[in-house]
Amino acid sequence: MPQTAGTLDSQQKTTSRRPAGTLYRGNTGMWSWVLHRITGVAIFFFLLVHILDTALVRVSPEAYNAVIAQYQTPIMGLGEVALVGAIVFHAFNGLRIILIDFWNAKYQRVLFYVVIGLWVVTMLGFVPRHLINVFSH
């Protein structure tokens, strides 16, 4: 049907309860973008804390060991799983963004599933070994 001036066809489509397929909304493009932002903010705030706690090596061995012991508790051990999960997603999805920018945007959806697949494989390699290190000491 040809578009006629004065109608709100396209707007009505995108504001209906089930929006038509746009590049981002409700799709892999949107969720990868949302996750990239959330993981990025989380990693940034961890980085601020992590530089401060590492700087304690300049204060005294006792001060550094007291703080690093907190990273070795079971609760923080689970937090490290979340942190590494966020970093691995942000890393692989960042490489996906670079491929979209410099290679070909039409593969963005399949690349998102590649990111998820690589994330699962990486976490399967990391999580069991890390949890053994946390809970067996």
Mark 104-118 as b/e (b = at least 16 C-beta within 10 Å).
Answer: eeeebeebbeebeeb
d(CA 76, CA 119): 21
Nearer Cβ to other proteins, position 91 or 109?
91
How many chain residues bind other proteins (CB under 8 A)?
38
- The separation between CA 129 and the C-alpha centre of its own chain, rounded to angstroms, equals 21
What is the nearest approach in angstroms of other proteins to the Cβ of residue 107?
A: 17
| Cβ contact 134:77 at 8 Å | yes
Binding to other proteins by residue 119, rule CB under 8 A? Answer: no
Site residues for other proteins per CB under 8 A:
37, 40-41, 43-44, 47-48, 51-52, 54-55, 57-58, 60-62, 64-65, 68, 71-72, 77, 80, 84, 87, 91, 94-95, 97-98, 101, 126, 129-130, 133-134, 136-137
